[in-house]
Amino acid sequence: MGLLSSRMSITRYQVTGQLNGSVHETVYQGLKQHAIPKIEDDGSEASVGWTSFETPYAPDFEGYSFVFGTDMVFALRIDKKSIPPKLIQKHYALYVAKRLADTGRHYLSGNEKKSIKDHVVNTLVQRIPATPNVYDLVWKYDTASLWFFSNLKAANEALETLFIKSFNLQLIRLFPYTTADRMAGLSDKERDVLQKLEKSGSEE
Amino acid sequence: MLDIAVAYNRYKFLGNEFLTWLWFMIETDQSSFRQHDPDLVSLTVGNRLVLENTHNNAKETVTIKGDNASLEEGLVALTKGAAVTEIHLSYKTGAQTWKFSLKGESLNISNLKLPETGPVETPDDLEGVVLEKVYLIEKVIGLVNNLFSHFIHLRVSDTWQNQTVSRIRKWATSN
């Protein structure tokens, strides 16, 4: 689901800190450096990187194409290979049968079975293409806010990690406590009360 | 500053109390929302409401679904000490309508349906549509932020414990 979807999910963030130098150029460099690789790495199970909003399957940030009005719009892409368990089971069974036939033995040791399973998984990972998942984001630099178009835990964690690596800025996820503490304009006294708050029923 | 994971779990209840208060306000004093959003025509509960009651480590969940579902069961759950954990809302300003769900523990927005925007027929249309969508999303995020901000100021004041909690209970039992 993304910015152009008919239904969307949004996780809100506050961006802490400022970029040095030209904002667009610094973001461009960060995006380019941590873009999703154009050529798939056959051996890895997953790869994570930035991609462009307009052409998510051919990342291109040239000409600051990620700038829309005063905002920046681009996407996180996670390419993941998922091997169906039944496929692993089938290839494992075939491999075990072959090994038993080749060696004339009736059983295999635990270590041998584990090594066969690892071999089967590694072989299948090489052969199966990765499935791309694209999650759009809108970064409103002026207000230090960012909207990420997914509520999935793994996607949000990947975003937080890649964002700090790319731009050296931290993302603070806005949930009830952080929204109250950072966005609501509470006074110091009110913030002290907030720290001590307990669930309403338990205060009586 | 609290550790983020600790803060998330420690203060989950604040989001649930916010949604409970929001439902109460929608039903009893909706006009007061206009001071936070002058464009607001109406804010109503949509087709889903989830409440949870946790007692002695046992969790009871009440889910009400459907476009014209009666919310009575939810009110009964409130009187037993439950709180709203998820609410589907319909927000109207003039001729535009937004529909979305809010989760208490995360304040995440899901299932957001924006008012109709122009189609993207050529690459040149894209920027205009993106800017329009961003504007429409900003409206709904602004509404949630303003309402939560109003709630949290009330929640850290004495008024919450002295008046609001009993008003919510009275409303739940009188319906």
Residues of A in contact with B153 (CB under 8 A): 184, 186, 190
Residues A96 and A75 in one domain: no
Which residues of chain A are under the pLDDT cut of 70? 1, 39-43, 202-204
Residues A71 and A144 in one domain: yes
Residues of B in contact with A180 (CB under 8 A): 11, 14, 148, 152
Residues of A in contact with B155 (CB under 8 A): 197
Which residues of chain B are under the pLDDT cut of 50? none
Contact A68/B112, CB-based, under 8 Å?
no
Contact A184/B153, CB-based, under 8 Å?
yes
Residues A75 and A148 in one domain: yes
Residues A143 and A71 in one domain: yes
Nearest CB neighbour to B108, from listed A151, A180, A190 = A151
Nearest CB neighbour to A186, from listed B15, B81, B152 = B152
Nearest CB neighbour to A10, from listed B15, B112, B113 = B112
- Residue in chain A lying closest to B129 (CA): A4
Residues A106 and A149 in one domain: no
The closest alpha carbon to B152, from A193, A203, A174, belongs to A193
Is position A190 within any domain? no
Q: How far is B19 from chain A (nearest CA, A)?
A: 11
Do B91 and B40 contact (CB within 8 A), yes or no? yes
Distance between CA atoms of residues B50 and B23, nearest Å: 11
Q: How far is CA B133 from the centre of its chain?
A: 21
A42 Cβ contact partners less than 8 Å away, ≥ 6 residues apart = A125, A126
- Residue in chain B lying closest to A137 (CA): B134
Number of domains in chain A: 2
Residues A74 and A18 in one domain: yes
Contact B109/A172, CB-based, under 8 Å?
no
pTM of the complete model: 0.90
Nearest CB neighbour to B107, from listed A53, A174, A203 = A174
Is position A148 within any domain? yes
A–B CB contacts, 8 A cutoff, strictly below: 119
Which of B107, B122, B159, B167 would you mutate first to test chain A, the one with the most A CBs within 10 A? B107
Residue B37: its pLDDT value, please? 87
Residues A115 and A31 in one domain: no
Q: How far is A193 from chain B (nearest CA, A)?
A: 6
Residue A203: its pLDDT value, please? 45
Residues of A in contact with B4 (CB under 8 A): 172-173, 178
- Residue in chain B lying closest to A203 (CA): B161
Residues A118 and A21 in one domain: no
Residues A15 and A66 in one domain: yes
To which residue do tokens 């969508």 refer? Answer: B133
- Residue in chain B lying closest to A175 (CA): B106
Residues A146 and A108 in one domain: no
Residues A74 and A167 in one domain: yes
ipTM above 0.90, yes or no: yes
In which domain, by residue range, is A102 found? 85-127
Residue A40: its pLDDT value, please? 67
Distance between CA atoms of residues A82 and B56, nearest Å: 40
- Residue in chain A lying closest to B20 (CA): A200
HEC string for chain A: CCCCCCCEEEEEEEEECCCCCCHHHHHHHHHHHCECCCCCCCCCCEEEEEEECCCCCCCCCHHHCCEECCEEEEEEEEEECCCCHHHHHHHHHHHHHHHHHHHCCCCCCHHHHHHHHHHHHHHHHHHCCCEEEEEEEEEEHHHCEEEECCCCHHHHHHHHHHHHHHHCCEEEECCHHHHHHHHCCCCHHHHHHHHHCCCHHHHC
Residues A51 and A91 in one domain: no
Domain range list for chain B: 4-174
